[in-house]
Structure 1
Amino acid sequence: MSSPKNVALVVGANGIAGLNLIEHLESLGGWEVIGLSRRGGEGRAGVRFISVDLLDAADSREKLSGLTQVTHIFYAAYQDRPTPAELVAPNVAMLVNVVNAVEPVARNLQHINLMQGYKVYGAHLGPFKTPARETDAHHMPPEFNVEQQDFLEQRQQGKSWTWSALRPSVVVGYAMGTPMNAGLAISVYASMSKELGLPLRFPGPPSAYDILMDVTDARLLAHAMLWAATSPKAANQAFNINNGDQFRWSEMWPKIARMFDLEVAPLLPMSLVDVMADKAPLWGRMVAKHGLAPHPYTDINPWRHAQGVFSLNFDFLADPSKARRHGFPGHIETETMFREVFADYRRRKVIP
């Protein structure tokens, strides 16, 4: 049997972007997939995993220098740190270590796709110009997303491969054991509310309930990653990727409640980090009662990220039209996305 033409190296394979990309590539066929993460993964036909510490240049060279057949690198790894300044060194180092190990030996390398986000526009700092556009000026450094892109732009000079950068909004979809997953947070929070006989309360402040925002379906993002990596029109450019519509929690939250057959009570600002800290026994009882998949409660820890999402008190959205103009046709209604994501968590027996 001949080798696949395309070999994808997915960096950050267990994160929400990497995991959904791998599932998308598997569904298409014709791709060999190599997933990188610190904790590895369970291999299967067409997919293998490598456990590697990307902060360690020597370990990266040892584990990755044999990947001569890689044609596409999809970089979606992330190391969290308390401040923007502290984010720069580890996140730039990981990208540099991957490229330094793979690019010199992968003679048929065609593309490197970089995962960014609205941090490029200063969304993590406070109110930013909306809708954000790819042509907007950068904010005052430090900003690791910008430094990563600068590295790729400089490295690509004179090379045959190209790069692209995608800027999703809050990503919603299936993933376990990742700290940045608002979809899982809502699924578990709503399921626990139902288990306790409680209505569904929005946990953010009143100022967050009526902001205008967008989100990005993880499946849509996977399609966009592949499009950007294989479309000549996307070469050496950055693109905002979101569902294509906007919403307010004041409108969406009652709809989400109905998806769980819950009533809505007045919002009540609370720290999800604190409120959900003691819920491991409740989770254990729910797993046994409803025959759920035996995911430990330690794998369900998206609360800090979710609290940040629910606490935004300024409009949070970007213009996705550049990607459309360059040929990416993907979009999904956000209400439909939430319904399908919750159904997926039920199908996988993560929630009742």
Structure 2
Amino acid sequence: MAEQKVALVAGANGVVGRRLVEELATLDDWRVIGLGRRANASIPGVQMLGVDLLDTAEVARVLGPHLEVTHLFHAAYQDRPTWAELVPPNVAMLDNVLGAITGPALRHVSLMQGYKVYGGHLGPFKTPARETDPYFMPPEFMVDQQRLLEARQQGQPWSWSAMRPAVVGGAALGNPLNLVVAIAVYASLSKEAGLPLRFPGKPGAYDKIVEMTDAGLLARATIWAATDPGSENQAYNINNGDVFRWSEMWPLIARYFDMDVAPPLPLQLTTVMADKETAWQAMQQRHGLAPIPYKDVSSWPFADFVWSWDYDMFADGSKARRHGFVEHVQTSAMLFAQFDQLRAAGVIP
């Protein structure tokens, strides 16, 4: 019988963290504890703990009794208006959790990162990005988090891994970083209004090379890196394995929703979708959809951010494949499957 492992997932209510919790919960040799600001207990077999990770004393009180934790998965994130302002809270959350998990059972700490490590959010950068690429001038909280993790690991019996996905595709609601839900809601409301589907991003973004990472694939890669002996103290780019251009993907998305495609037109969705709550509620009533608040499906600032990339955005994912994680996902199939999930849940018609 496999040795029992105990996972502690910080940020368990997010797109990444929730999918990781769901994946771990299917494995017989894992017991799962989730951390979130809300103790959402909707996943069978998972112990959820509500805690403010910025409150050092509260974190110590809640996590202190859990000396049995063998694997910490840190996927917690707090948004702030500027890149510099992201550093203090996100570094503090990791520091607080690491400070509270002091049990002798701890074997591995997994840190969730992204292409911000390469400066992908700042403008055109070297592509394909590789794990060996040098850091850039701070501030960047992901770099500071990794440096903190490496410093804390010195002389300790546990190892670490850092996962670097592209834009993560998942069907979880209530998260500000969810492109899949933004696409589905934008397309659904456009169709309800009798409009064709227009790409709303910057003109230069329509033809650039981009990629995504399926949330399920990322969860399985994260578990692999946390348990594979040859993956200790390594960073990994994790992507679906294909790249695409929105100019090729957009007609496929329109076909899924049975819509015509019109030429791209730059639209700040944060602005043009701000007054669509009434239209959202009318669509819900007309189609008998689930009564989900508009705020829980409104990821417009993130969609605007992704569709502002008028430069290539992709990384070399071959290191993980060379080390043994060979799973891949076709991005169009991922999108359609997640749109199907949103329809089955009554989120969109």
TM-score by length of 1: 0.96
Percentage identity across paired residues of the two chains: 58
Q: Does 1:111 align with 2:78?
A: no
Structure 1 residue identity aligned to 2:328: H
Q: Which residue of 1 aligns with 2:222?
A: 225
Output aligned runs, 1:23-172, within 5 Å: 23-102=22-101, 104=102, 106-172=103-169
User: Aligned partners of 2:201, 2:186: CA distance in 1, in Å?
Assistant: 13
Q: Does 1:273 align with 2:248?
A: no
Q: Is the 8 A contact 1:293 1:350 kept in 2?
A: yes
What's the CA shift for 1:40?
Answer: 2.1
Matched residue pairs, number?
A: 349
User: Aligned partners of 2:230, 2:132: CA distance in 1, in Å?
Assistant: 17
Q: Which residue of 2 aligns with 1:22?
A: 21
User: Aligned partners of 2:51, 2:77: CA distance in 1, in Å?
Assistant: 14
Residues 260-311 of structure 1: per-residue CA shift (max 9 Å, x gap): 1111011111110111111111111222222222211121121000111111
User: Aligned partners of 1:45, 1:211: CA distance in 2, in Å?
Assistant: 41
What's the CA shift for 1:162?
Answer: 0.8
**Of 238, 243, 248, which aligns to 2:240?**
243
User: Aligned partners of 2:227, 2:288: CA distance in 1, in Å?
Assistant: 42
User: Aligned partners of 1:43, 1:73: CA distance in 2, in Å?
Assistant: 21
Q: Is the 8 A contact 1:20 1:174 kept in 2?
A: no
SS, match of residue 239 in structure 1: strand
- The list of structure 1 runs, each at least 4 consecutive aligned residues, that deviate by more than 4 angstroms after superposition, is none
Q: Which residue of 2 aligns with 1:329?
A: 326
**Of 339, 344, 347, which aligns to 2:341?**
344
Structure 1 residue identity aligned to 2:125: F
User: Which stretches in structure 1 are left out of the alignment for 5+ residues?
Assistant: none
TM-score by length of 2: 0.97
Residues 180-226 of structure 1: per-residue CA shift (max 9 Å, x gap): 00000001111111111111000012111001111111111111111
Q: Is the 8 A contact 1:111 1:163 kept in 2?
A: yes
Residues 35-80 of structure 1: per-residue CA shift (max 9 Å, x gap): 1111221255421211111111111111111111111111001111
User: Aligned partners of 1:140, 1:235: CA distance in 2, in Å?
Assistant: 27
**Of 153, 159, 182, which aligns to 1:185?**
182
Q: Is the 8 A contact 1:233 1:327 kept in 2?
A: no
Q: Is the 8 A contact 2:22 2:43 kept in 1?
A: no
Q: Is the 8 A contact 2:72 2:110 kept in 1?
A: yes
User: Which stretches in structure 2 are left out of the alignment for 5+ residues?
Assistant: none
**Of 251, 254, 257, which aligns to 1:257?**
254
Q: Does 1:299 align with 2:296?
A: yes
User: Aligned partners of 2:53, 2:316: CA distance in 1, in Å?
Assistant: 33
The worse-fitting range, judged by mean Cα deviation, of 6-15 and 42-51 is 42-51
Q: CA RMSD in A?
A: 1.5
User: Aligned partners of 2:141, 2:127: CA distance in 1, in Å?
Assistant: 21
Q: Which residue of 2 aligns with 1:320?
A: 317
User: Aligned partners of 2:19, 2:227: CA distance in 1, in Å?
Assistant: 17
